[in-house]
Amino acid sequence: MERISALMDGELDDDEAVQEFKRCGGDATLVEGWATYHLIGDVLRKEAPLGAGFNERLREALAAEPTVLAPRPRTFQRRARLFALSAAASVAGVLAVGWLAYFNQPIGPDSTGGTMAGKGPTVAEADASMNEYLVAHHEYADTASMPSVTPYVRYVNEIRREGAMSR
């Protein structure tokens, strides 16, 4: 995966890049890695990403294209590909630095966190009327966020408390 990153950033020389392309072609996880890094790049640059399933749609569209049987000018293709890559990498570099400059602005925890009241020991423990809300929250809310191991880790622990007494 590190080499995919290096390839994207134009850090590999011509021979290494060609090697990496060959490796990519035969390995689904590397292809996926390539897509992931590009997606992350898009997100960092706040560009509209291509969206889920783009690769599949592209592949289907290409498969539907008629095949043209003609000799391939290989060297030219490779050069063009490498040129396009290094150009893309330079742009990515520029944007990455811009992104950093943006986030180095003082928006740290102190700006809003400082005003937050510390959680005192006097906060009440939720009463039984909250049970239904808590269960509903875990059913929906946990799947709305980043999926972790399973969205139901909190849920299964919440429903332990639910049972005879709340019914």
Partner 1 sequence: MKAVCLRWAGGLAVGTALAASTYADQLQDTDALAWLQKIAGAARQLSYEGTFVYQHGDMVETSKIIHMVDGGSEYEKLSTLDGPPREVIRNNEEVLSYYPEIKTVRAEKRAGKRTFPALPPELLTNITEHYDVRRGDVERVAGFDAQALVLEPRDGLRYGHKFWAEIGSGLLLKARMFGERHQVIEQFAFTQLKIGGKISLDEVRSSYQGEQDKWKHDRFASNDAKDSDSGWVIKNQPPGFRKVYEMRRSKQGGGAQLLTHIVLTDGLAAVSVFIEPNSLKQKVNEGPAQHGAINIYTRLVGEQRVTVLGETPAATVAQIANSLAPRGR
Residues 66-105 that bind partner 1 (CB under 8 A): 93-94, 96-103
Instruction: Give the shortest CB-7-to-partner 1 separation in angstroms.
Output: 13
The DSSP output letter for 155 is H
Q: Of 18 and 50, which CB lies nearer to partner 1 in the complex structure? A: 50
Cβ-count burial of 8 within 10 angstroms (0-12 exposed, 13-18 middle, 19+ buried)?
buried
Within positions 95 to 154, which residues make up the interface with partner 1, using CB under 8 A? Answer: 96-103, 107-109, 111-117, 119, 123-127, 130, 132-134, 136-137, 139-150, 152-154
Rounded Cα gap, residues 92 and 102, in angstroms: 15
Q: Of 9 and 20, which CB lies nearer to partner 1 in the complex structure? A: 9
When binding is defined by CB under 8 A, the residue of 7, 9, 12, 20 that contacts partner 1 is 9
Rounded Cα gap, residues 77 and 126, in angstroms: 66
Residue 155 tokens, joined: 């849920």
Rounded Cα gap, residues 153 and 127, in angstroms: 22
Instruction: Give the shortest CB-164-to-partner 1 separation in angstroms.
Output: 5
# chain residues binding partner 1, by CB under 8 A: 72
Number of neighbours of residue 7 by Cβ within 10 angstroms: 23
When binding is defined by CB under 8 A, the residue of 1, 58, 84, 87 that contacts partner 1 is 1
Within positions 15 to 74, which residues make up the interface with partner 1, using CB under 8 A? Answer: 33, 36-37, 39-44, 46, 49, 51-52
Q: Tell me if 135 sits within 8 A of 155, measured CB to CB.
A: yes
